[in-house]
Amino acid sequence: MFFLIVGLLVGTPILVLAVVTWMGSRLLGRRWGRKVTNVSLFSFAGIYPAVAFLIVPFVFAQILSSAGTRPQDLRLKLDPGHFGCTFEEVTFTGQDGIQVSGWWMEGEPERTAFIIAHGLFRDRKEVTERGCRLQKRGSSVLVYDLRGHGKSQEAPTTMGYRERFDVLGAARFVHQRHSSGLAIMGVSMGAAATLMAVPEMDPVPSAIIADSSFTSLRDTVREHSSLFLGVPGFPFNHVFVWNLTRLGNFSADEFDLPLIFSRAGNWPPTLLVYGGQDERMSAQTAQTLLAALPTEHKRLIVFDEAGHGDAWESDPDRYLSTIEGFLDEHKVTSGTKPN
């Protein structure tokens, strides 16, 4: 329906010209009118698919690449103090030099610290309450705005590929302030960035919690275009991926988590969290990532009533107890800093 509307908006003036010319030629008996009608109809037939399957995905990629935090989140007046937590406004540098902003919530030095990355179109406020709850249980927590979002430096959105540099910068920041272990968390795009950052981390984190991650750039584009737009994969997906990677200066071949896992060395315990009602990241996505993770210390938890990235909102207490139970199982709740 979307592409029908867009195609008609662009092609309607040509179609109207064809109809008016055809009516005029019938009334006046002019042969030139028939030629104009034919040219107009052929033009409409060519413009409609060009707009629907070439121009629209090109424009969509431009919009996504420059996308940031959605307006309602920017207007939201919320910080850790809203939930009764003490905090410090901090800035640090991503591994590639981008300036990143966040809130640092100091906890007990012997407890495992957390860094938490938000999803696409959101900012640190999306994960602030869960971070505050973790601080109240003793952990130090850093919540931060990924590049191009919130108060962090503007940069092209790459769906997690370059955002992994922000994760690496956040880990370095915490290791400079905290002597114990580190658990890294992320939601949706933040989860993909988190998983992608692990092979480049030194030291290796104590644990990973990935909430609603996707498997690869191509897979998530295919799933979203099919779900929301109902368009054929070719050429829409190819044009979209080509332009997004061009704008972000990266390769879609490098944005494939199962492939990254297959090349990884030492991998920490990993908890995958998904919503049972998530139409964007299917059960197959979760199973694919679970099977590909290069560790025996892994688990998939599904919140049956939750949609995409909504596991926390559906049951915060279960969310926290699941994380703590997983960390306890692998003896990292009061962790020590890895060598």
Share of the chain above pLDDT 70, in %: 80
Alpha helices in 29-151 (DSSP H): 31-50, 56-65, 71-75, 128-136
pLDDT tops 80 at residue 38? no
The last residue of a domain, from among 208, 230, 251: 251
| Shared domain check, 212 and 224 | no
Please check whether residue 112 is in contact with residue 332, taking contact to mean a CB–CB distance below 8 angstroms.
Answer: yes
| Shared domain check, 134 and 88 | yes
CA distances to 43, 81, 178, 312, 327 from 186, rounded to whole Å, are: 48, 22, 20, 12, 16
Host H or E run for residue 27: helix 2-28
pLDDT tops 60 at residue 248? yes
Please check whether residue 277 is in contact with residue 305, taking contact to mean a CB–CB distance below 8 angstroms.
Answer: yes
pLDDT tops 50 at residue 339? no
Please check whether residue 273 is in contact with residue 210, taking contact to mean a CB–CB distance below 8 angstroms.
Answer: yes
| Shared domain check, 148 and 199 | yes
The last residue of a domain, from among 251, 266, 300: 251
Give per-residue pLDDT as tens, 190-240: 999 999 999 999 999 999 999 999 999 999 999 888 776 666 677 889 999
| Shared domain check, 100 and 159 | yes
| Shared domain check, 193 and 281 | yes
Mean pLDDT, rounded, for 123-131: 98
pLDDT tops 80 at residue 168? yes
| Shared domain check, 156 and 289 | yes
Please check whether residue 271 is in contact with residue 187, taking contact to mean a CB–CB distance below 8 angstroms.
Answer: no
Average pLDDT, the chain: 86
pTM: 0.85
Could you give the number of structural domains in the chain? 2
| Shared domain check, 175 and 99 | yes
Kindly indicate the confidence band of residue 53, based on its pLDDT and cuts at 50, 70 and 90.
low
- Structural domain range at position 40: 1-65+218-251
| Shared domain check, 244 and 106 | no
Mean pLDDT, rounded, for 318-326: 96
Kindly indicate the confidence band of residue 241, based on its pLDDT and cuts at 50, 70 and 90.
very high
Of 13-17, 243-247, 249-253, 308-312, the one with minimum mean pLDDT is 13-17
| Shared domain check, 227 and 98 | no
Give per-residue pLDDT as tens, 85-117: 999 999 999 999 999 999 999 999 999 999 999
The last residue of a domain, from among 199, 230, 251: 251
| Shared domain check, 78 and 61 | no
Please check whether residue 72 is in contact with residue 153, taking contact to mean a CB–CB distance below 8 angstroms.
Answer: no
φ, ψ at 184 (rounded to 5°)? -110, 135
Please check whether residue 189 is in contact with residue 212, taking contact to mean a CB–CB distance below 8 angstroms.
Answer: no
Per-residue pLDDT at 26: 53
Q: Is the bond into 13 cis (omega within 30 degrees of 0)? A: no
Question: CA angle, 213 as apex, 159 and 269 as ends, to 5°?
Answer: 125
